[in-house]
Amino acid sequence: MELRDKRILVTGGSDGIGKHICLKLAATGARLAILGRNAERLEAVAEACKEAGAPEALPLTCDLQDPAAIAEVASQVLESFGGLDILINNAGIWHKAGPLDTIAPEMLQATVQTNLTGLMQMTQAVLPALRENDEAIVLNVVSKSGVVAQAGQSVYTATKYGVRGFTEVLKADEAETGVRVGGLYQSGTNTEMFAKAGEDVPNHIFTEPDDLADVVVFVLSRPPKLWIHDIRIEL
């Protein structure tokens, strides 16, 4: 599929995997709506995307813990672009690994709302617009934790197993609409996600986000008859 001028919304695009996805998509000539919580970082990514070749890059602040903000920014994107071709649900947060009773109640709530509920709400908000296109995609950046249960990740893993189930059912529901649905299940990635939660991990051994972004662009650019709906990335 030709990505030039495709209208693409990327959540969690201000840093990490999302930032690199945006930069790679910009080089294809795609039009981008970049969502995140930090306005300053979003502006910087949007400018970098324009320099990389994006004809349009909209930096939009949105906290996925706020359903009203999700509805508002989704409406803003659809109005600005006149529709939408691709949704990349990438935003996510990490809680420091440990037994369930060591995870603060507010962290539990934030993780579930950001990683799972907000993702579903964003998808719900733009799905009718996606169905209007012959070539439309929902790609969920999930995590290996949506496939493998690992000690200390009870809440995080619950959200990612939820996203995996949501992805599979959405794929079945949209089979006749032309909206292609896929999930990316990546191992640890060299980003700031763990550090933000106060977790000290050996980031240097993890997959580079730039390499993951190459995979995303490859998957999105496949023709409908060669849709890769389940992508597993191992270290």
Amino acid 208: pLDDT = 85
Give the pLDDT of residue 5: 97
DSSP string, 169-198: HHHHHTTTTTEEEEEEEE--BSSSHHHHTT
Cα 188 off chain centre by: 15
For the chain of 235 residues, list the mean pLDDT of each consecutive stretch of 10.
96 94 98 97 98 98 97 98 98 93 96 98 98 95 93 96 98 96 82 56 66 94 92 83
* Residues 206 and 187: beta-carbon distance below 8 Å: yes
Q: Does residue 7 sit in helix, strand or coil?
A: strand
Q: Quote the CA–CA distance of 204 and 142 in Å, as a whole number.
A: 21
At 137 the pLDDT is 98
Category of 82 on φ-ψ map: left (φ > 0), alpha (ψ -120 to 50) or beta: left
pLDDT score of 206: 62
- 87 in Cβ contact with 138 (< 8 Å): yes
Beta strands in the chain (DSSP E): 7-10, 31-36, 57-61, 86-89, 136-141, 179-186, 230-233
Please tell me the predicted confidence (pLDDT) of residue 209: 80
Burial of 204 (0-12, 13-18, 19+ CB in 10 A): exposed
Please give the angle made by the CA atoms of 12, 230 and 142, to the nearest 5 degrees. 30
Of all helices (H) and strands (E), which one includes residue 83? Answer: none
> Which amino acid makes up residue 230?
D
> What pLDDT, on a 0 to 100 scale, did the predictor assign at position 94?
87
Residue 183 Cα distances to 40, 62, 163, 200, angstroms: 29, 22, 9, 27
7 near 19, Cβ under 8 Å?
Answer: no
Q: What is the pLDDT of residue 200?
A: 59
